[in-house]
Amino acid sequence: MQDTLELPQIQETLALPNTQRRVVAHAAALPADAAGLIQTDLKRWHVGAWLALLAIDVAAAWLDGRLAFLHWNVTTAPPVANSSMVLLLLALGCEFMDATIGMGYGTTLTPILIILGYPVAYVVPAALVSQFIANLSAAFFHHKAGNFNFWKDHQTRNTALVMGGIGLVVSIAATQLAVKLPAHVLRSAITLMVLGIGVFMLVGSQLKIRFRMRNVGVLAGVAAFNKAFTGGGYGPLVCGGQVLVGLPIRAAIASTAMAEAIVCLAAVITYLASGRTIPLFLIVPLVIGALLSTPVSAITLRRLPQVLVKRLMALAIIVLGAYALWQGKGI
């Protein structure tokens, strides 16, 4: 792998305009499979297409606020005005954070929607459905942006599949056994575990820990159990835990997206099998908003220094954990 520019390349680079010079220098510092992508990921038509999609979706959300064409499958009315617009923008922001630092969608979105007045019975399955679709998209764009290579990076791919498989089984069991366990005890224990991971990532950043699949498997099981209960809390535990046990930061974020998609799918199937209905006025804007953020997140992660991403992740984990403890509800 060639990590630096040769002398002839340096001379050619110095002759370029400043903007192009920065792009070339940045590409030289990336892995070989990502350096080629950096030249294409910011084409004008890509940006234009994304902005056009955003404008169309915002217009459709505004129109739904006037005509209510997404409200036909339930009698419950949205608790806020311009519900589709609010949900679209909330999902876009929460998924951007989630797909960039590996956490924050369900953990942030679910309590916000409940505070706004959306019924809990609708919020949790809707968050799971939208995150399932968004995580598939995030994993795809992380691969395209060069954050990991699904075909060549065997460790990351296998980690995601193992976590997803364990999480699938655990999440199905959790949705069926939820009423038999004291939820406050589980949530408090997981919150303390998440806080510990965040603090350790921040203060022990120089410590090298050997990657072991069994450690990731335990984290996946605990996180999937919490995910099925609350619709959130998966990313802080699994993504932070993977970094803690030695997986590279970008690989950890990508593998978390893949594994969480499998876990969400299992939980969604279980909810639907129990006869629950998810309102279209809730699920459609959440899915669209989350999908819009994933290509931007992948490019953002590719360009951010790994040390910065790790610190942001650690701080986010600590803030989420501390806030959950302060609320007394768990993460």
Q: Where are the beta strands (DSSP E) in the chain?
A: none
Winning range, highest mean pLDDT, from 93-97, 105-109, 167-171, 224-228: 93-97
* Mean pLDDT for all residues in the chain: 76
Is residue 2 over pLDDT 50? Answer: no
Place of tokens 């998924």: 95
pTM of the model: 0.73
> 46 or 38, which is more confident?
46
Distance CA(59)–CA(53), nearest Å, equals 10
What is the phi/psi pair of residue 244, to 5°? Answer: -65, -35
* CB 253 within 8 Å of CB 117: no
Q: What percent of the chain has pLDDT over 90?
A: 20
Is residue 331 over pLDDT 70? Answer: no
- Joined tokens for residue 271: 């909810």
How far is the CA of 315 from the CAs of 115, 196, 221, in angstroms?
24, 12, 24
Average pLDDT over residues 308-331: 72
* CB 254 within 8 Å of CB 148: yes
- What pLDDT is attached to residue 15? 52
Among the listed ranges 70-84, 113-127, 147-161, 173-187, which one has the minimum average pLDDT value?
Answer: 173-187
- What sign does the dihedral 197-201-207-208 (CA atoms) show? positive
> Confidence band (pLDDT; 50, 70, 90) for 51?
very high
Average pLDDT over residues 49-59: 94
> Confidence band (pLDDT; 50, 70, 90) for 197?
low
Is residue 49 over pLDDT 80? Answer: yes
